[in-house]
Amino acid sequence: MLSYLQRLGAVSISMFERLGRGSLFFVNIVFSVPSVIVRPRLLIAQMHSVGVLSFSLIVISGLFVGMVLALQGFYTLSDFGAEGMLGVMVSASLIRELGPVVTALLFAGRAGSALTAEIGLMKATEQISGMEMMAVDPVKRIMAPRFLAGLISMPLLATIFSAVGIVGGYFIGVGLLGIDEGGFWAQMQAKIDFSEDVMNGLIKSVVFGWVVTWIAIFEGYDAIPTSEGVGRATTRTVVHSAFAILLLDFILTALMFGDI
Amino acid sequence: MLEHNRGAELAETTPFIKVRDVHFSRGSKLIFDGVDMDFQRGKVTAIMGPSGTGKTTLLKLIGGQLKPSSGSIEVDGQNVHQLKRKQLYQLRKKMGMLFQSGALLTDISVFDNVAFPLREHTTLPESMIRHLVLMKLNAVGLRGARYLMPAELSGGMARRVALARAIALDPMMIMYDEPFTGQDPISMGVLVRLIRLLNNALGLSSIVVSHDVKETCAIADYVYLVSAGKVMEHGSPEQLANSDSEWSQQFMQGMADGPVHFHYAAEDYAKDLLGIES
Ligand SMILES: Nc1ncnc2c1ncn2[C@@H]1O[C@H](COP(=O)(O)OP(=O)(O)OP(=O)(O)O)[C@@H](O)[C@H]1O
Ligand SMILES: [Mg+2]
């Protein structure tokens, strides 16, 4: 019992210590951001590997999620004779919730894990050490551009996800199930509010982009520099990101849409 | 005139790097237990010792990547571990380091690797950078390999590219971590001469960490033999070769038995084989 408590204590101390180091690391990155803005070439290269390479995954997933939403929604709504609301239902679910959350989960799996593995391997092969010895700050040169790229890419990807999803819903609702086309779009226009829905969804995606990229980069930087250590860090990135996304989603949703 | 001479004399006698009573441990493992060393300006100083004694660690301490638990390290009159981050980076621009693994950036070509420190630290036009890079690559015999990616190089080639990169900024000193491993006899000979040549032509101070006793003694002005956290012997290569200490004889002649143990500290062999754990 005592040893159990001891172990619990040790685990929580090391957890908080890691959290502390992670926060310091984040502060360090924030201070390095100006140097990235001066040299946009690095940022553009990272936007390509973090954002553009996730594009096809996001588009395909968005399309299917939108189509499934329309199918499911149609059968529920038609019970109440409210098929006309299908467009609102699909777009509200996507913009408020599924767009940011599903994109962030996919982003953690696609871009986050790649970031951790890349930085972890750089550490394992002494590239980071070598850079420090050449008097080049790896936080400025490696971490900050990747962080900024993730932060910018995530909201763009989430927006694309939602837009494609709505098109998918349109194919199913109007094309397959024969809902009135005018009603589909008109209801959507009338019911979706810019600040209430679109802005809140956007805020969520920025927050998720921040947390996923931060976790991914820190895990890589903090990885034990062996192949096993890098492998574990990559797994941790995906698992911790998923937890963080879902937890933050709950908190943000409660703050934005719940009347607490 | 007199002043000038005194200055020159001082430069001759004050060491470029001063290591004083350095202690360092990794976890519970003591790696350095009070080490004193001097590295003279413009000379090649070699550090030799059994594998795992902390030679790489010593270079990282000098470069300020690790911090000793006590003792001090001065490079060019500055205490490395009391410098602010900015000053440390400023000092590092004057230090070249050749990592044991090469440590090339794997996502850019050989050419870009050598150009990396130039592009980061200077505002030279691209034509000038090209010129400098080709010069450095030519010195290590790899001008023709400039378009290759690091993954396409052999271990020995990678180390030579890393050498070209280490001299790109014309540093005041270079630390070579095992420069000769993985080199065939021809490139080994070239490298040995290159290290000496760079040292003489550019007035560099060099630190060579190596196991290759013969090659190292051929170029070193001074040798430190390190083992078990201490400096065991030091002196010019001739002094060490003629030393009657058992220790240096064993190391210089590469025998498995003697005061240095070839084995990492372990249980009794027979007991270990029988599976008796104590
Ligand atoms: N990151 C680390 N964490 C813990 N211990 C380490 C670490 N790096 C090295 N060591 C330990 O420090 C000791 C010295 O390592 P170092 O790499 O300096 O040896 P070396 O003299 O360069 O050996 P070699 O000639 O084989 O390169 C070794 O016993 C090793 O076990
Ligand atoms: Mg070593």
Q: What is the ipTM of this complex?
A: 0.80
Distance to chain A for B109, nearest Cα, Å: 14
Q: Are residues A125 and B103, on separate chains, in Cβ contact within 8 Å?
A: yes
- Identify the closest residue of chain B to A140 by CA–CA distance: B120
Question: What average pLDDT does this structure show over A103-120?
Answer: 95
What mean pLDDT comes out for the span A2-28?
90
> At B2, is the pLDDT very low, low, confident or very high (cuts 50, 70, 90)?
very low
What is the reported pLDDT for B184?
A: 82
The count of other CB atoms within 10 Å of the CB of residue B192 is: 20
Q: Which atom of ligand 1 is found nearest the CA of B60?
A: 18
Chain B nearest C-alpha distance from A223 (Å): 17
Q: Beta strand pairing status for B44-48 and B205-209?
A: parallel
The DSSP code sequence of B124-183 is --HHHHHHHHHHHHHHTT-GGGTTS-GGGS-HHHHHHHHHHHHTTT--SEEEEESTTTT-
Q: In the 8-state DSSP scheme, what is residue B264? A: P
Mark residue B178 as left, alpha or beta (left: phi above 0; alpha: psi -120 to 50; beta: remaining). left
pTM of the model: 0.85
Per-residue pLDDT band for B1 (boundaries 50, 70, 90) equals very low
* pLDDT of residue B164 exceeding 80: yes
| Phi, psi (rounded to 5 degrees) for A203 | -60, -45
- What confidence category does residue B128 fall into, taking pLDDT thresholds of 50, 70 and 90? very high
State the average pLDDT over residues A187-203: 89
What is the SS3 assignment for A175? helix
Q: Give the containing element (helix H, strand E) for A12.
A: helix A2-38
User: For residue B167, what are its two tokens?
Assistant: 């001299």
Banded model confidence at residue B277, pLDDT cuts 50, 70, 90: low
Asked if residue A84 lies in contact with residue A151, where contact means CB atoms within 8 angstroms, the answer is: no
Tell which wins on pLDDT, A172 or A258: A172
Q: Using the predicted structure, report yes or no on whether residue B185 has a pLDDT greater than 90.
A: no
> What's the gap in Å between the CA of A241 and the closest CA on chain B?
26
Say what the alpha-carbon torsion angle B2, B5, B7, B11 is, to the nearest 10 degrees.
Answer: -160
- Spatial neighbors of A237 by CB under 8 A, at least 6 apart, are A108, A112, A113, A115, A116, A215, A216, A219, A220
Q: Average of pLDDT values for A65-91?
A: 90
Residue, of B257 and A63, whose pLDDT is higher:
A63
What the block records as the tokens of A124 is: 């394992």
Mean pLDDT over all residues of chain A?
Answer: 92
Give the per-residue pLDDT at B7: 46
- Mean pLDDT rounded to a whole number for chain B: 84
Stretch A51-66: mean pLDDT, rounded?
94
User: How high is the pLDDT of residue B245?
Assistant: 75
Distance from residue B209's CA to the centre of ligand 2 (Å):
8
Query: Quick one: pLDDT at residue B256?
Result: 57
- Residue A86: phi, psi to the nearest 5? -55, -45
DSSP assignment letter at B81 = G
Mean pLDDT for the stretch of residues B219-224: 90
Mean pLDDT within A161-174: 94
Measured between beta carbons, which residues in chain B are less than 8 angstroms from residue A135? Answer: 89-90, 92-93, 117, 120-121
Q: Residue B112: pLDDT above 50?
A: yes
Percent of chain B with pLDDT over 70: 90
Average confidence (pLDDT) over A182-196: 88
**A238 pLDDT higher than 50:** yes
* Mean pLDDT confidence for B70-88: 90
Mean pLDDT, residues A175-197: 88
At a CB cut-off of 8 Å and minimum separation 6, what does A88 contact? A187, A188, A191, A192
Q: Percentage of chain B surpassing pLDDT 90?
A: 33
What pLDDT does B278 receive? 58
Closest atom of ligand 1 to B100 CA is 27
Residues in chain A closer than 8 A to B95 (CB atoms):
133
Q: What is the mean pLDDT of residues A160-166?
A: 96
Q: Across chain B, where does the E strand assignment appear? A: 17-26, 29-39, 44-48, 70-75, 78-79, 95-98, 173-177, 205-209, 222-227, 230-235
Distance CA A15, CA A28 (A): 20
User: Does any ligand 1 atom lie closer than 6 A to the CB of residue B51?
Assistant: yes
Q: Is B95 on the interface with A (CB under 8 A)?
A: yes
Which whole number is the average pLDDT over A199-225?
94
Residue B56 Cβ inside 6 Å of ligand 1? The answer reads yes
Mean pLDDT within A100-124 = 95
The Cα B135–Cα A194 span in angstroms is: 61
Place of tokens 């930085």: A119
pLDDT band at B263 (very low <50, low <70, confident <90, very high): low
- Supply B178's token pair: 């095992």
pLDDT band for position A124 (cuts 50, 70, 90): very high
